[in-house]
Amino acid sequence: MPERRTVALVTLGCARNEVDSEELAGRLEADGWQLVEDAADADVAVVNTCGFVEAAKKDSVDALLEANDLKDHGRTQAVVAVGCMAERYGKELAEALPEADGVLGFDDYADISDRLQTILSGGIHASHTPRDRRKLLPISPAERQESAAAVALPGHGPADLPEGVAPASGPRAPLRRRLDGAPVASVKLASGCDRRCSFCAIPSFRGSFISRRPSDVLNETRWLAEQGVKEIMLVSENNTSYGKDLGDIRLLESLLPELAEVDGIERVRVSYLQPAEMRPGLIDVLTATPKVVPYFDLSFQHSAPDVLRAMRRFGDTDRFLELLDTIRSKAPEAGVRSNFIVGFPGESEADLAELERFLTGARLDAIGVFGYSDEEGTEAASYENKLDEDVVAERLARVSRLAEELVSQRAEERVGQTVHVLVESVDEEEGVYGRAAHQAPETDGQVLLTSGEGLSVGRMVEAKVVGTEGVDLVAEPLGGSPACSEEAGR
């Protein structure tokens, strides 16, 4: 019997990429590939790249080069690029980076096994010429679902596959294979984006916004619960638009309570919300539904009106603060995070002061700050009034210092509160760590529990916050008993 082909998936970038990697893993395993964790142990190393900003692209190239080095002293015979950077640049990336034995776009995902086998056998798969994926679907959202079957949509795998496609396969098995045993998993709610922010190139290579059907989201969540997942995080480029192409812009409000009722799921989290699209009904569901955490990942980007208009976005400091007041009037302990761009073309000192005024008043739990840089293919890249690089760097450092101070202060406000912590790691030397309801994976800090007696990964624990370490919390378990399911995440 021939030795099974081995493949490792290396994932960079956001949670959406993690979902895509697990779909690729499901396809490959179904076709007989053996999945391994370490690229050095794989015949083929598949690097799922990020193409969002320059730093992320550099990380992707570094990961490809690192994987290529394994060919000199490991089992690895081929290195293949997939993901956003591969889709965005295609042939151009293949020519600029000959170390990659293949560059595969989204259209190749359905045939990923054949593509890898061709490359592993020494064959060549011609890399694609990038195209604007917004043009693959109708302009009208109402007409997109009928055309969706003909367009590659990573992470939208059907939920009615035959037995054997994924672990514990059955009627609910999605086109997905988990790559770790973490108690939290992301579920893709939609793909693409219809917004036209002047600094962002994502819509051009991820395409127009299209929702997954609620039944597929529910079935995938049920399957994940069967795999031991306790928390799901709904991801997309813009979750507040969910359902608009299905005829119901309020579909998220009805889907969330159904997801919260899935057996085994203790916490449901929604990421990436657009402030301009927040609805009173959605705020109500996010703040009052058991097991749905009052967590608001709001994409503010800035708060000075002139800068926001140049970004082709909406709002201002006072309206944003009013939105946060509304949220906290319903859920005083709600978690809020956001990202901001400083040094945008034309940004004045007064604009920066306005942003600092907002940050100071917003009491955000987590803040990401990025310095503006031109992104090819975007409207902002053609703007005049660009700031010097040293000015952008100075403003980035200045606002980052403020952000660090503010999130530490916000963490201190939580001392004395009772939180429900999902345990994610237990180590005799490093201790027991988990996350509270206001903390999303990877981005928002964590909770160090003062006692780990009787605790295991995946356990939900009620604890009292007794201290802070920057953005992180230190908490003492109350009675060592798991949090009640009805209260988890509230």
Q: What is the C-alpha separation between 267 and 290, in angstroms, rounded?
A: 9
- 489: three-class secondary structure by DSSP: coil
Q: Which residues contact 369 (CB under 8 A, 6 or more apart)?
A: 339, 340, 342, 396, 399, 400, 403
Q: What is the C-alpha separation between 48 and 458, in angstroms, rounded?
A: 27
Closest CA to 238 of 209, 213, 214: 209
Q: Read off the tokens for 400.
A: 């980052």
C-alpha distance across the termini of the chain, in Å? 54
Q: Is 193 labelled as part of a ligand binding site?
A: yes
DSSP code for 195: -
DSSP code for 2: P
CB atoms inside a 10 Å sphere around CB 164: 10
Q: Is 484 labelled as part of a ligand binding site?
A: no
Helix, strand, coil percentages in the chain from 3-state DSSP, rounded to 5: 40, 20, 40
List Cα–Cα distances, 327 to 133, 259, 322, in angstroms. Answer: 36, 22, 9
Q: What is the C-alpha separation between 27 and 157, in angstroms, rounded?
A: 10
- Which residue in the block uniquely carries the two structure tokens 């001392």? 415
Residue 115, amino acid: R
Q: How many residues does the chain have?
A: 490
Q: Is 14 labelled as part of a ligand binding site?
A: yes
Q: Read off the tokens for 251.
A: 């579909």
φ/ψ of 34, rounded to 5, equals: -100, 125
Supply the Cα-derived Rg of the chain in whole angstroms. 23
Pairing of strands 418-427, 431-435: antiparallel
Q: Please, are residues 202 and 236 in contact by the beta-carbon 8 Å criterion? A: no
- Could you tell me the sign of the dihedral formed by the alpha carbons of 448, 449, 453, 459, in that order? negative
Closest CA to 41 of 69, 76, 71: 76
Q: Read off the tokens for 176.
A: 């997905």
User: What are the E-state strand segments in 241-379?
Assistant: 267-270, 295-297, 335-342, 366-371
Q: Cite the annotated binding site by residue number.
A: 14, 50, 84, 193, 197, 200
Q: Cite the annotated binding site for [4Fe-4S] cluster by residue number.
A: 14, 50, 84, 193, 197, 200
